[in-house]
Amino acid sequence: MRPLIGTSTKMNLTSSEAGSYFDALLPRLVGATGCDLFVLPPFTSIWVARERLSGSPIAWGGQDVHPAESGAHTGDVSAAMLVDLGCTYVEVGHSERRRGYGETDGLVAAKVAQILQHGMTPILCVGEPRKEAPEAAIDYVLGQVARGLAHVRPSDLARVVIAYEPVWAIGLGSVTAPPDHVAAVHRAVRRWLNRTGTDGGGIVTAPRVIYGGSVDGTTADELLGADAVDGLFVGRAALDPVQFEVIVGAGQRRAAGSRLKEAPTSTSAHG
C-alpha cells in the first residue's frame, strides 16, 4: 500500500501566504511518485490550492464540513462546496474540534457519511486524551472508530482513512508517541476494520491507518517503520516546505522498501 502523507495547515496561511507556500512546496514534492500526498488549507485558501496544485501529485481538501446538504448554517461549509473546489479529502473529528466546539462522535459520524456521499475521502481523527498503557488507549480509540463509522457500510470502509492522533502528542512542546505504542494501536484498529469490512465472509477493504502527533523529519522514518502504519498526518512541521520534503522522503524510502520486499526472487541456471 502506498504511504499516505499529508498535512492540515490549521488556521495558518492567508490566501496570499498559501500561494507562496504551494509554490515553494510543489517543486520539492513533484517527484514523490511513491506516495499519495495531500494538503488541507483553511477554507479561504482551498481555491488557491486548486489553482496551484491542479495536475500535480498533491491532492487538497477541507479541514471540516457540515453534515447537512445545505441550508441556514451560517459560517459553515457543505460537502458540495468542497467538491466544487476539487477537494479529495476532508478531515473530521480532530481533537481541537471535539474540545473547542463540543463535537460528539454522533456529529462526526454524520460528517463522515456526508463526505462519502459526495465521493470524497474522510480522514477520521481519533486518539486518547491522556498518555496511558496501549491497552487502555486501544479501548478508547476503538470506541471512537466504531462510533465515527456508524453510518459507513462495510463495502465503503476502503474509502475511509483513520488518523490516529493521541491528544497528548499534539501541540507545541509535545513529543511523538513511541513507535511501539503507535504500532499496537494501529494493529488493533486494522484488526477491527478488517473484521468489520467484510461482506459474505470475505475481506473487501484495505483502509489506511495513518499516524499524526508531533511528526517531524527526525521521527518520520521510525514511525513509518512501525507495524501497520500506512502514512503520516503532519502538523506544524509541514508549514516548512523543507521539513515536509524530508518527511515525504521518508515515505518514498518506505515505498521503495515495500517494492523490494514484493519483488519476485529470480534464479538463474548455469551449465
94 is catalytic: yes
Q: How many domains does the chain have?
A: 1
- Cell 460537502 belongs to which residue? 79
Residue 262 lies inside a defined structural domain of this protein = no
Residue 76 lies inside a defined structural domain of this protein = yes
Q: Which residues of 85-100 are buried (b: 16+ CB within 10 A; e: fewer)?
A: ebbebbbbbbbbbbee
Q: Which of 91, 103, 128, 165 is catalytic?
A: 165
- 177: containing domain: 4-256
Closest CA to 246 of 234, 229, 256: 234
Contact 105, 144 (CB under 8 A): yes
Q: What is the DSSP letter of 100?
A: H
- 67-77 pLDDT tens trace: 999 999 999 99
Dihedral sign, CA of 194, 192, 126, 131?
A: negative
Residue 271 lies inside a defined structural domain of this protein = no
- Distance between CA atoms of 51 and 156, rounded to whole angstroms? 30
Residue 269 lies inside a defined structural domain of this protein = no
Contact 259, 32 (CB under 8 A): no
Q: Which residues of the chain have pLDDT under 70?
A: 198-206, 259-271
- Residue 268 has a pLDDT of 39
φ/ψ (deg, to 5) at 202: -110, 145
Q: Which of 66, 91, 94, 128 is catalytic?
A: 94
Take residue 259 and report the three cell numbers written for it: 517494492
Q: What is the DSSP letter of 8?
A: E
Helix (H) or strand (E) holding 59: strand 58-62
- Residue 172 has a pLDDT of 86
Q: Which residues of 56-76 are buried (b: 16+ CB within 10 A; e: fewer)?
A: bbbbbbbbbbbbeeeeeeeee
- Residue 173 has a pLDDT of 87
Residue 175 lies inside a defined structural domain of this protein = yes
Residue 105 lies inside a defined structural domain of this protein = yes
Residue 265 lies inside a defined structural domain of this protein = no
**The whole model's pTM is what?**
0.93
262 is catalytic: no
CATH code for the domain in which residue 138 is found: 3.20.20.70
- Residue 269 has a pLDDT of 39
- 67-104 pLDDT tens trace: 999 999 999 999 999 999 999 999 999 999 999 999 99
Dihedral sign, CA of 173, 234, 40, 18?
A: positive
Residue 264 lies inside a defined structural domain of this protein = no
- Residue 206 has a pLDDT of 67
User: 208 has which bridge partners?
Assistant: 161
- Residue 197 has a pLDDT of 73
- Distance between CA atoms of 94 and 108, rounded to whole angstroms? 9
Take residue 122 and report the three cell numbers written for it: 474522510
- Residue 106 has a pLDDT of 98
